[in-house]
């Protein structure tokens, strides 16, 4: 089964109109290989601005989070319905910074996945172990448990792209080795086969995230169960174009 290569950028809480102009100029000038999907997670306040600047038909805009309710007294939150209304069809959910800086639980992330899918969005749910958990030999236990809460809330797997991001590799410059990443990706695919179906295990894209850059992307992209990346820091830089073309 061929899974189209997928490159997500996560700008996190970075940017300004001026820097978005530079980033989107780069994206618009990038020849995205056929079949490759590119989605960039912009801060909410810049979603419409980023959309207005992207002319490359292969590049789409994502939100970095949304809430589990459609509307109401939830000051400061963004609903999946708002995103849909703006024509934003992708949302990153359960990023490690949402989990560990803002204390989002597996339950809440599951509810957000459910609501976003019901609203018609495509979702990029994120999972990944912390350093102590890896060192304690608990990586599989942690990521399978995170997957359980996602699975219980997924109605349509064709709208899901999973991002495996070991927390110790995020923003640290300490990338997982291609073997470490492949090992967990392959185990996640096995888990999907057992817990969901062979078809879903074969078709769902599993991205790697954590210190991906223009130099290390090719070797990671060569691994059979790595279907793309979720890129933080390097998605703000010109090297993001090299990552988009990592399989060439």
Ligand X SMILES: O=C[C@H](O)COP(=O)(O)O
CA distances from 45 to 26, 29, 33, 60, 83 (A): 21, 24, 30, 16, 11
Q: How far apart are CA 88 and CA 121, in angstroms?
A: 8
At 207, list the tokens.
């991205």
The yes or no reply on residue 239 touching ligand X (CB under 6 A) is no
- Asked if 231 touches ligand X (CB under 6 A), the answer is yes
Q: Interface with ligand X includes 125 (CB under 6 A)?
A: no
Q: Which of 60, 95, 104, 129 is catalytic?
A: 95
Q: How far apart are CA 203 and CA 141, in angstroms?
A: 23
Binding mask 147-186 for ligand X (x = CB under 6 A): ------------------x----xx---------------
Return the residue of 7, 233, 240, 246 that touches ligand X, per CB under 6 A: 233
Q: What stretch of H or E contains 60?
A: strand 59-63
Q: Does 94 bind ligand X (CB under 6 A)?
A: no
Minimum distance from CB of 16 to ligand X (Å)? 18
Active site residue 95: yes
Binding pattern for the stretch 6-25 against ligand X, x by CB under 6 A and - elsewhere? ----x---------------
The encoded tokens of residue 59 equal 């590049």
Which pair of tokens denotes residue 25? Answer: 């100029």
Buried b (16+ CB within 10 A) or exposed e, 192-211: beeeeeeebbebbbbbbbbb
Nearer to ligand X, 78 or 201 (CB): 78
For residue 60, indicate whether it is catalytic. Answer: no
- By the criterion CB under 6 A, which residues form the site for ligand X? 10, 95, 165, 170-171, 209-212, 230-234
Q: Which residues are catalytic?
A: 95, 165
């Amino acid at each position: 089964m061929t899974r189209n290569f997928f490159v997500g950028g996560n700008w996190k809480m970075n940017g300004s109109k001026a820097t978005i102009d530079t980033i989107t100029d780069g994206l618009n000038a990038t020849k995205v290989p056929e079949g490759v999907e590119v989605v960039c997670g912009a801060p909410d306040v810049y979603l419409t601005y980023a959309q207005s600047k992207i002319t490359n038909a292969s590049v789409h805009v994502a939100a970095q989070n949304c809430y589990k309710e459609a509307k109401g007294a939830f000051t400061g939150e963004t609903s999946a319905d708002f995103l849909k209304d703006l024509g934003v069809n992708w949302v990153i959910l359960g990023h490690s910074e949402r989990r560990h800086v803002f204390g989002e639980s597996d339950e809440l992330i599951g509810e957000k996945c459910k609501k976003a899918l019901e609203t018609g969005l495509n979702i990029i749910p994120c999972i990944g172990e912390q350093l102590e958990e890896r060192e304690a030999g608990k990586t599989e236990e942690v990521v399978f448990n995170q997957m359980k809460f996602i699975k219980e809330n997924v109605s349509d797997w064709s709208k899901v792209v999973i991002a495996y991001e070991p927390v110790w590799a995020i923003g640290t410059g300490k990338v997982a080795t291609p073997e470490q990443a492949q090992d967990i990706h392959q185990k996640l695919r096995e888990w999907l086969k057992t817990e969901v179906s062979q078809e879903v295990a074969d078709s769902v894209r599993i991205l790697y995230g954590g210190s991906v850059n223009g130099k290390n992307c090719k070797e990671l992209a060569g691994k059979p169960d790595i279907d793309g990346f979720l890129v933080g820091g390097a998605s703000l830089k010109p090297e993001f174009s090299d990552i988009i073309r990592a399989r060439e």
